[in-house]
Structure 1
Amino acid sequence: MTRQTLIYLSIAFLATACRMVAPSPQVHSGELDLRTFPFESGSAVALQGDWKYFPEEFDVPSDATAPTYLPVPALWNQLPLRSGAVDGKGFGTYVLDIKLPEETQIYSVYLPEVRTAFRLIAGNRSLVSGVPGHTKETTTPSAQGQSFTISAKDKLQIRIEVSNFHHKEGGLPNAPVFGLAESVQNYILAQSTMDLALTGAIFMFGLYHFILFFYRNKQREAFYFGFFCLVFAVRIPFIGSKTIYAMFPNIPWDLVIYAEYASVFVLGILFLWFVDGLFPRFIDTKIILYFSAYVQFMLVYGLIIKPEVYTQFEVVFQVLGIVYAVFLGIRLYQMVTKGLPDAGIFFLGYLILFVGFVYDVFLAYSGGGDSTLSQIAVFLFFGVQSTIVTLRTARTFRKKILLKEEFETINEQFILTNRFYAKFIPRDFLTHLGKESIEEVRLGDSSEREITVLFADIWEYWDIIYSIPLENRMLFTNSYLGRIGPCVRKNNGFIDKYIGSAIMALFDGGIQNSIKAAEDIQWELEKYNERRITFGYLPLHAGIGIHSGDTMLGILGEEERFESTVISDTVNLSSRIQGLTKKYGARILVSLTSLMLHEDLDTIPYRILDFVRVKGKQETVMIAEVLIPDIDAISNKKIENREQFEAAIFDYERADFVSALEGFRAVFANNPEDLAAQIYIERCEYYQTAGVGEDWDGVSAWEK
């Protein structure tokens, strides 16, 4: 049970304690001896028992002989009928003689509501609630309790003149309370305070369920139970000690009685909707709708007619209420037998509520006075409901934990799946397509942008492949590719395709990233060769071709098979440039137009290599060789001879083959491993003999 429930139950029991008065001696034949009663203990006396009764009389003399005696509390129309008022209508006077201690003390008398009107007389003091009269026209009804203080000793006579012409029930349904002034006033104050406290506590309980509903709007039972609590909280000031009069002294009596009766109907239908929300579809919705229509009719009916009419049907309402409660109890028991979650504890709470309701109906019928049992039962039921909310919240929390764990597992699997798919379709490729995940990719998705394409391949690949066992070929290829992949990624590129030992990598951050990646690949290959040489393997040489341009990235294939691809002349040209690296003995070749886009070109050692026309292209491309300092002696020599080599290139382009041949021979003499110089020597020697035509443009045509 939650802390909140314990607080509410404590308030309920405190309320019960405050309503209790000390066990008092019974009134016999209109007399009560209180000479030995311990007034000093702070206790008050409930003046219960047989009072003298004078029917159809007011202003009864103090020494008059009573024609009959009536029990207090009791109703005039209570069986067996002793009041003479068959239908509870009429007027009369109750008289009680009290023997008191000899010393003079200040006493107080408090009389709760008397349905319609009364005048309380003791000694030389009197007060009224409403205006008691001999007829309906001369009577002004009121449901407000009254009290006053009086100084007395030895004996005291209390007279209560009662009239009722506006309600089914007449008489004294509540016993007057008598005691020392301070004790009675404390009793009244405690009653009123606890009524207000109970109202506030139940109101807050209802507000809590409303908040619960607004945060979890699928929990209809929280809404209906919150509404039930609010109506019950509003009802409390209109019953019992009628604290509504403390807030609104001039509130009409008709409204007080209407609120007392109407709230019972509203509470009944709200409770039914609450049960339907708690256990959906277990009670036929048509029954609830029929009962709701009946309640609406009764609410309107009560506004139209007077209380003296609809209170005549109180017994009928009470019987219907018991039938309704029994029917609901049977359905709840069926829920228990079917093993519905929380049905057992809810049924237990309902039994407590049912007992309190039936007991209050019995007291109302017998005129036995007010009882706090129904309020205790309601608070116990609140505790049951709070327990159910706690259990369901705990189950919901556990479900959320399980769902969270399941979600995390699925999410982890999803992440792993995405990572796995990213090995087939790189994340960067999806980013270029504007997609968050592989699941968003659709056939035909594409994006056009300027991209730098890098091709890299091993010159000796096929020679090595054919020289090693079949089972080692894949291991060798993956060993090499596993070293160059990180070089691409750390320079903000991604590998789009593997073509045997060749890779095609894309860079979106400018030419400088691709050149840096190419340099890193060459250095990584040098490290790999050192390891291969220690095992007696041949060293590897990779040629890299780079070109930038407009590129179309997209998804090709058909509905059952997708593949990412790049379609562009840029791809074809970079592949052709890579194919020239082995012919020129160059590690890295770049189209000069792309190289000129480098942001720090002065920091890149390069030399213009040739004007070429590659296979399938009519346009000429000037290519440059990017040189890497200190990677090997050949590269250092190329850097050293760069200016002399480029001067010879320009002589060659002008068809000055004598000067060009002299320059190339000087470069070759200094660096016999420079294949490009050797190629140009052979060309110059040929053209010196064969000559060139007028259409000479110095372009070399390569068919591969």
Structure 2
Amino acid sequence: MHRGRFAITLFFPILLLWLGNFVKAAEFPAIEKGVLDLSKSNTDPNAILTLSGDWEFFFQRFTDQIPGNETGQFIQVPGNWDEISQFNSNYSEGFGTYRLQLKGLNPDRIYGLKIPTIHSASQIWIDGKMLASFGDLGREKSEETPQIAGQLLFFSPDKSEAEIFIEVSNFHFFQSGIWSPIYFGEEHAVISFDRQSRMFSFLLVGGLMIMGVYHLFLAYIQRSFLESLFFGLACIFLAIRELAGPDAILMDLFPYLSHGVLVRTVYLCLGLAFTFQTLFLFRLFLPFKNQWIYKVQYIIMGIFILAILFLNTRDGAIFFNYFTLFLAPPFILFTLYIVVRAAIKKTEGAWVFLVGLLFFYGAASHDYLINYQSEGVNMSYWMPYGFFFFILSESVVLSIRFNRAFLNEAKLSTQLGQTNESLKRFIPREFLKLLGKNEIVDVQLGDAVSKDMTVLFADVRNFTSLSEGLSSKETFEFVNRLLTRTDPIIRKNQGFIDKYIGDAVMALFANKPDDAIQAALELQREVQNNNLLSNQKIGIGVGIHYGNLILGTVGSKYRMDGTVISDAVNTASRIEELTKVYKLDILISEDLKNQVVHPEKFHFRLIDTLNLRGKRSQNCIYEVYDDPEKYPPGFLDHYEKGMQFFRNVDIKEAKVHLDKALNLKPDDGPCQYFLEKLAEYSRVQQNLE
């Protein structure tokens, strides 16, 4: 409940500020029929006026074709000229001239204009003097050279009146005319206003970039934390979009940036920012069973990028508007539904995210109304504030998630320590022998020995799903039947079980590594030949590694236990986990293979090269088996050639040989795995091309 009160408390002041934004309009003089009379009001010298209202407009004419005594038709600024009666072209193509008469000026003062983005080319004149030119005007597309407008212009009137002419031609963009506010005021006020605007933009860009790079770094450290990756990318694209926004800061940084590149940058950044924001939200609050939504989002993003890159500027802008018109509303509603549902279910961070999302949607709606209003109300844009507040809320949610992860890690470490303290197992006799002790009474706290040994991990496949159909008693009976069969095989081959880990076992072999391999092969045959779980066939995965271990005793004078400390244990466990990935029964490390005394007794197949825990360099893993007829003739030849081409990044040849190998043995896990990898590489290359 306190989160809901926090959200409401935060939202209402923002709403009041938003509504207060409309009240300012009545304080400024209005443009009436192409005339702004400053003498009719006591305007503060430090005030900034928006030149919004009815300007005179001369369609399909430039200033050299306009007689001084002619009156044009009146058109709303900001707005598009496609609303006038003479307009009959497609997508606002054409040219024209805007005129505004300023009255009540002080000839002793210098005035300034803050010109917004105007597509595609424009010239600004005051009393017959050209103040600025952006691109080359044209009466048709071939004559026009597009360039983005957007800078400060200053003039000193010779008298109390002045005429502003703005010539505009547009053949490279879908939206015509002057559709963003023009700001006007005395020199110092305009400069101050521009500095404040740019300062906020730089602060916003800097904040977004810092958050973006920071979360990309976190994603690099923790690869599985995709939330941070999506959030970081969204921040960076939003920062670039802000640089290319109304202040055209990107043009200041790169003066020779073309019109087409700038427009494509704006739309690409908007689309990609929206996409990664959505993916970030899905990752936070969408159940993992709804993976299809990610695929849909990736497909849409691919289509969008290709369209913006390969369509011309005008068609790309048209595509973007229709694209957002049809796709943005359902995605917005869907994301709002997800966040509201998560907030109702009291999902961690959902309320904070919901407040930021509502503010973002409110800011976007506010700016949309500004762009499409009919009366030119004097309002500022709220989208930068919406972005900032939305990103801030997302950052808070991520901080909550990271904090929970750190607490869980600390909790897990504590639980592991408590588990080690609470274990009450007898120390195996083999363990005593390795410590050089004959009897358990001879063992002292702190006794330890370092020795190169073989570590074997064996685990039941799909144990969770198997146990779901069993009662608690049946589950324990099954585990005990399995361990009863496992222990004699381990002992027969000169090893001993050091740990029982649920349905898994960890065994140590102090003699030659051949013993561990032989035990694994016999264990596989035992499981295959005996019915250990009613009428269901079970499988086990075995991972074996060879390395240095430290065996010793830990505890206190009242309670102590034997333990093994080594990275080799983690490596063996990791190799066992890989048997599920490659769908194989037994995997061993290269370190163990190199120590085998009688390699002629076994058959080995190279599977992969991995960075395993406890190793500074890469380590190969091998499948081991003793049946020479396990694989059909020709299978291993094609497999080895395919893997050689795979390591040489020859995708085509690798796929040919792996396909042939898979045809010979359709259920071979490594072939299926590497063919899937080849398919991913092919898609990446196609995207890069």
For normalisation by structure 1, the TM-score amounts to 0.55
SS in 2 for 1:172: coil
Q: CA offsets, 1:455-477, max 9 Å, x none?
A: xxxxxxxxxxxxxxxxxxxxxxx
SS in 2 for 1:160: strand
Q: Distance in 2 between matches of 1:379 and 1:149?
A: 32
- Matched-pair contact (CA < 8 Å) for 1:139–1:163: yes
Structure 1 vs Structure 2 CA RMSD:
3.9
Larger Rg: 1
- Matched-pair contact (CA < 8 Å) for 1:142–1:253: yes
Q: Distance in 1 between matches of 2:509 and 2:108?
A: 107
Q: Which amino acid aligns with 2:138?
A: G
Partner of 1:291: 297
Q: CA offsets, 1:428-469, max 9 Å, x none?
A: 9964795999948989969xxxxxxxxxxxxxxxxxxxxxxx
Partner of 1:385: 394
- Report the more deviating stretch, 320-329 or 244-253: 320-329
- Matched-pair contact (CA < 8 Å) for 1:258–1:303: yes
Partner of 2:60: 56
- Matched-pair contact (CA < 8 Å) for 2:121–2:137: yes
The yes-or-no answer on 1:29 pairing with 2:36 is no
**Mapping for residues 646-661 of structure 1, pairs under 5 Å:** none
Q: Which amino acid aligns with 1:231?
A: F
Q: Distance in 1 between matches of 2:145 and 2:205?
A: 29
- 382, 402, 407: which is aligned to 1:373? 382
Q: CA deviation at 1:338?
A: 4.0
In structure 2, relative to structure 1, the CA distance for the partners of 1:102 and 1:381 (3 Å cut) is closer
Q: Distance in 1 between matches of 2:301 and 2:265?
A: 14
Partner of 1:180: 186
Partner of 1:170: 176
- Matched-pair contact (CA < 8 Å) for 2:122–2:149: no
- Matched-pair contact (CA < 8 Å) for 2:180–2:371: no
In the alignment, structure 2 segments of 5+ residues that lack a partner are 4-9, 433-438, 454-495, 500-505, 512-689
Q: Which amino acid aligns with 1:139?
A: E
Partner of 1:194: 200
Q: CA deviation at 1:165?
A: 1.3
Q: CA deviation at 1:110?
A: 2.4
Q: Which amino acid aligns with 1:407?
A: L
Partner of 2:443: 426
Partner of 2:658: none
Q: Which amino acid aligns with 2:331?
A: Y
Partner of 1:43: 47
Q: Distance in 2 between matches of 1:107 and 1:22?
A: 22
Partner of 1:264: 270
In structure 2, relative to structure 1, the CA distance for the partners of 1:431 and 1:256 (3 Å cut) is closer
Q: Which amino acid aligns with 1:316?
A: Y
The yes-or-no answer on 1:93 pairing with 2:102 is no
Partner of 1:329: 336
Q: CA deviation at 1:65?
A: 2.8
Q: CA deviation at 1:241?
A: 1.1
- Matched-pair contact (CA < 8 Å) for 1:315–1:365: no
Partner of 1:355: 362
Q: Which amino acid aligns with 1:357?
A: A
Partner of 1:301: 307
Q: CA deviation at 1:76?
A: 1.6
SS in 2 for 1:329: helix
- 345, 348, 352: which is aligned to 1:341? 348
- 215, 219, 232: which is aligned to 2:221? 215
Partner of 1:123: 127
- Matched-pair contact (CA < 8 Å) for 1:100–1:156: no
Q: Distance in 2 between matches of 1:262 and 1:206?
A: 17
For normalisation by structure 2, the TM-score amounts to 0.56
Q: Distance in 1 between matches of 2:112 and 2:291?
A: 54
- Matched-pair contact (CA < 8 Å) for 1:199–1:234: yes
Q: Distance in 2 between matches of 1:391 and 1:292?
A: 27
Q: Which amino acid aligns with 2:109?
A: Q
Q: Distance in 2 between matches of 1:248 and 1:330?
A: 41
- Matched-pair contact (CA < 8 Å) for 2:93–2:171: yes
Q: State the aligned residue count.
A: 433
Q: Distance in 2 between matches of 1:443 and 1:310?
A: 65
Q: CA offsets, 1:146-184, max 9 Å, x none?
A: 332211131111111111111111011122222212222
What is the aligned-residue identity percentage?
21
Q: CA deviation at 1:370?
A: 9.1
Q: Which amino acid aligns with 1:228?
A: A
Q: Distance in 2 between matches of 1:444 and 1:244?
A: 66
**Mapping for residues 498-513 of structure 1, pairs under 5 Å:** none
Q: Distance in 2 between matches of 1:151 and 1:365?
A: 33
- Matched-pair contact (CA < 8 Å) for 1:318–1:361: no
Q: Distance in 1 between matches of 2:441 and 2:203?
A: 70
Q: Distance in 2 between matches of 1:299 and 1:262?
A: 7
Q: CA offsets, 1:166-222, max 9 Å, x none?
A: 111101112222221222223223323332232111000111212222333332101
- Matched-pair contact (CA < 8 Å) for 1:108–1:148: yes
Q: CA deviation at 1:347?
A: 2.8
In structure 2, relative to structure 1, the CA distance for the partners of 1:376 and 1:418 (3 Å cut) is farther
Q: CA offsets, 1:508-557, max 9 Å, x none?
A: xxxxxxxxxxxxxxxxxxxxxxxxxxxxxxxxxxxxxxxxxxxxxxxxxx
Q: Distance in 1 between matches of 2:340 and 2:282?
A: 14
SS in 1 for 2:62: coil
SS in 1 for 2:441: coil
- 150, 161, 166: which is aligned to 1:160? 166
Q: Distance in 2 between matches of 1:169 and 1:434?
A: 77
Q: Which amino acid aligns with 1:384?
A: S
Q: CA deviation at 1:123?
A: 2.3
Q: Distance in 1 between matches of 2:445 and 2:77?
A: 92
In structure 2, relative to structure 1, the CA distance for the partners of 1:341 and 1:65 (3 Å cut) is same
The yes-or-no answer on 1:310 pairing with 2:301 is no
In structure 2, relative to structure 1, the CA distance for the partners of 1:103 and 1:375 (3 Å cut) is closer
Q: Which amino acid aligns with 1:138?
A: E
The yes-or-no answer on 1:279 pairing with 2:296 is no
SS in 2 for 1:226: helix
SS in 2 for 1:134: coil
Partner of 2:117: 113
- Matched-pair contact (CA < 8 Å) for 1:30–1:50: yes
In structure 2, relative to structure 1, the CA distance for the partners of 1:430 and 1:288 (3 Å cut) is same
- Matched-pair contact (CA < 8 Å) for 1:70–1:83: no
Q: CA deviation at 1:282?
A: 5.0
Q: CA deviation at 1:47?
A: 0.8
Q: Which amino acid aligns with 2:397?
A: I
Partner of 1:560: none
Q: CA deviation at 1:291?
A: 2.9
Q: Which amino acid aligns with 1:184?
A: V
Q: CA offsets, 1:653-682, max 9 Å, x none?
A: xxxxxxxxxxxxxxxxxxxxxxxxxxxxxx
Partner of 1:406: 415
Q: Which amino acid aligns with 2:74?
A: Y
- 245, 248, 252: which is aligned to 1:242? 248
In structure 2, relative to structure 1, the CA distance for the partners of 1:129 and 1:434 (3 Å cut) is closer
SS in 1 for 2:362: helix
- Matched-pair contact (CA < 8 Å) for 1:336–1:347: yes
SS in 2 for 1:325: helix
Q: Distance in 1 between matches of 2:33 and 2:254?
A: 39
SS in 2 for 1:249: coil
Q: Distance in 2 between matches of 1:298 and 1:374?
A: 22
- Matched-pair contact (CA < 8 Å) for 2:78–2:371: no
Q: CA deviation at 1:112?
A: 1.1
